[in-house]
Amino acid sequence: MHGHWSSRAAFILAVTGSAVGLGNIWKFPYITGENGGGAFVLLYLGCVFAVGMPILVSEVLLGRRGRRNPIATMAILGQEEGGSRHWRLVGTMGVIAGLLILSFYSVIAGWSLAYALKSAVGSFAGTDARSAAFEFFTFTGNWKALLAWHAVFMAMTVFVVAAGVQHGLERAVRVLMPLLVVMLLVLVAYSARYGAFEETLVYLFKPDFSELSGESMLIALGHCFFTLSIGMGVVMAYGAYLPEGTSIAASSLTVVLADTVIALLAGMAVFPLVFGNGLNPAEGPGLVFETLPIAFGQLPAGSVFGTVFFLLLTFAAWTSAIGLLEPAVAWIVERHQRSRVVGAVVVGGLTWLMGLATVLSFNVLSDLRFGRGTLFQNIDFLASNILLPASALLITVFAGWIMCRNSSSEELAMGSGLLYKGWRLLSRVVAPLAILVIAFRAVGVI
Ligand code: TRP
């Protein structure tokens, strides 16, 4: 990876490709359901714009300033600006969080692949709420099937990372992302016509703050980092190839808006079916897989739609999974002088094995509960709600406090106007405080 992005649009597409994934379509609806709807959505939007967005800007800014891989960038900038190379640990933490996330991400992407096939052979024809739930229950009950689909998806990811394909990805994102949006719009239209749409709008947009706990705040915060792919050095790595003179703020805003719109559309497709069929919104990770097949089962040409939809979802997950695997592989290649193929196969293989914990959480070990719940829930919590906020905190503190004012204003090229002051206020005060307060609340200190 050397040189520059061919255009600003290419950079935006790459970051959007990593941002838009299972986080938007699978995770956002189910955690919204588990945390009571509107108040959580509002909190999530607040986190995205007041905390996520300034940190996204900071991460791109650090990347373009350092122009190296994330660990080297943090080491060099740390020394130049802050007198300590220990800042490289931010990069290391990101790599670890990425592998933990990938270990469950690939399992869920495997479900999506399996559902594309199920839809293609007509399994959803005439599906109602009960049979969809039953189908999901039987499918996830079979650990061998889950492990096999997880293997297929991981192999796809390893294949691309090993080959180091960049251009194919860019082109694919350009075509597939708009298609995904169109499919979501079709589903929203279906849900508006046949589901409980008004109830959904009230549920999603009329906040009831009594539903919120300190824990929900931590989940909203963690998800804002998860969905924007912040805190793992990936955005930093992409930022390293952004030409001088491209507006970091405008590019970041575009990514944030695209990501948010897709998540909200997913919510508007899923919840009308939940309420219309008397399902439980707090159903958990199976929510999307138990609701959307109902729509596909009734729509004309539903099996075609269903297949296309789950393929698109798999594809969105694929572009994200590549970004999750890449940093660890780059590290192995640079640090231990192995080929990309060896690096990708070794890291991918180990992550696949780690995924066994998630696979078994839905069947054999579903009764094993501790901490946050099942093994899968604990891995997700550790990565998304502890590691990501921690490294995001370090990134924003570094960009806002350690880095000198001249460097950041030069990189952001916003002059010393209101925009720059706004970013500085958010990244120096609002974002760090929000992260600390939310973290302390969640552990019960405040
Ligand atoms: N943003 C992705 C999603 O919402 C998941 C993700 C988190 C990610 N961190 C990442 C993807 C880093 C690529 C790189 O599904």
Cα of 228 vs centre of ligand 1, distance in Å, is 7
CB 14 near ligand 1, within 6 Å: no
pLDDT of residue 72: 87
pLDDT of residue 207: 94
Cα 186 from Cα 121, distance rounded (Å): 21
Q: How buried is 293 (Cβ within 10 angstroms: 0-12 exposed, 13-18 middle, 19+ buried)?
A: buried
Distant-in-sequence, close-in-space partners of 198: CB < 8 Å, separation ≥ 6: none
Cα 70 from Cα 85, distance rounded (Å): 13
Taking the domains of the chain in order of start, what are their residue ranges?
8-442
Cα 438 from Cα 446, distance rounded (Å): 9
Per-residue pLDDT tens digits of the chain, which is 446 residues long:
445 777 788 888 889 989 999 999 999 999 999 999 999 999 999 999 999 999 999 999 999 999 888 888 999 999 999 888 899 999 889 889 999 999 999 999 999 999 999 999 999 998 999 999 999 999 999 999 999 999 999 999 999 889 876 666 677 777 888 888 998 999 999 999 989 999 999 999 999 998 888 889 999 999 999 999 999 988 998 888 888 888 899 999 999 999 999 999 999 999 999 999 889 999 999 999 999 999 888 888 888 888 999 999 999 999 899 989 988 888 888 788 888 899 999 999 999 999 999 999 999 999 999 988 999 999 999 999 999 999 999 999 999 999 989 889 888 887 668 889 999 999 999 999 999 998 888 777 77
pLDDT of residue 195: 92
Going by C-alpha positions, the residue among 100, 154, 70, 113 that lies closest to residue 344 is: 154
Cα of 335 vs centre of ligand 1, distance in Å, is 24
Q: Three-state SS for 373?
A: strand
What residue spans of 299-380 are helical by DSSP H?
302-336, 340-361, 375-380
Buried b (16+ CB within 10 A) or exposed e, 367-386: eeeeeeebbbbbbbbbbbbe
pLDDT of residue 415: 66
Distant-in-sequence, close-in-space partners of 276: CB < 8 Å, separation ≥ 6: 191, 194, 195, 196
Would you identify the CATH topology of the domain 8-442? Hydantoin permease (1.10.4160)
131 phi and psi, to 5 degrees? -70, -30
Angle at the Cα of 201 from the Cα atoms of 207 and 218, rounded to 5 degrees:
40
DSSP string, 64-93: HHH-S-HHHHHHHHIIIIIS-GGGHHHHHH
Ligand 1 pocket test target in 44, 232, 391 with most atoms within 8 Å of CB: 232
CB 319 near ligand 1, within 6 Å: no
pLDDT of residue 14: 85
Residue that has been written with the tokens 């594309």 in this structure: 116
373 phi and psi, to 5 degrees? 130, -130
pTM (two decimals): 0.94
Cα of 368 vs centre of ligand 1, distance in Å, is 27
pLDDT of residue 169: 67
Cα 44 from Cα 310, distance rounded (Å): 25
370 phi and psi, to 5 degrees? -155, 165
Going by C-alpha positions, the residue among 413, 445, 374, 411 that lies closest to residue 73 is: 411
pLDDT of residue 3: 57
pLDDT of residue 442: 78
pLDDT of residue 1: 46
Q: Three-state SS for 370?
A: strand
CB 169 near ligand 1, within 6 Å: no
The CA–CA distances, whole Å, from 258 to 18, 47, 180, 227, 264 equal 12, 16, 12, 11, 10
